[in-house]
């Protein structure tokens, strides 16, 4: 028996948070490496992970909204 209620965005964001936080941490670290070439300060891997943990929350929410829209589109609701 299937449940016809759609997944709420907060549930999708919660499931996608580890992926989003990791992706943000990698991107912050790579951006810091490019910034070193331009003469900006260094950013340690630990600081990048901490930034990823914080910035992963809005990234996960945006990803949850995107996935919810794709699920609605696949169900023919949009």
pLDDT tens sequence across 32-60: 999 998 988 889 999 999 999 999 999 99
Phi and psi (nearest 5°) for 7? -65, 130
pLDDT band at 66 (very low <50, low <70, confident <90, very high): very high
Question: What pLDDT, on a 0 to 100 scale, did the predictor assign at position 63?
Answer: 97
Is 1's pLDDT higher than 50? Answer: no
Q: Considering the entire predicted model, what is its pTM?
A: 0.84
Q: How would you class 47 by CB atoms within 10 Å of its CB: exposed for 0-12, middle for 13-18, buried for 19 or more?
A: middle
Where along the chain do its domains lie?
A: 9-74
Report the distance separating Cα 55 and Cα 62, nearest Å: 11
Confidence bin at 75 (pLDDT 50/70/90):
confident
């Amino acid at each position: 028996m299937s449940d016809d209620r759609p997944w709420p965005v907060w549930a999708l964001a919660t499931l996608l948070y580890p992926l989003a936080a990791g992706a943000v941490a990698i991107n912050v670290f790579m951006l810091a490496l490019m910034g070193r070439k331009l003469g900006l300060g260094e950013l340690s891997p630990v600081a990048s992970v901490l930034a990823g943990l914080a910035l992963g929350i809005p990234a996960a929410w945006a990803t949850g909204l995107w996935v919810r829209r794709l699920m609605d589109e696949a169900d023919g609701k949009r």
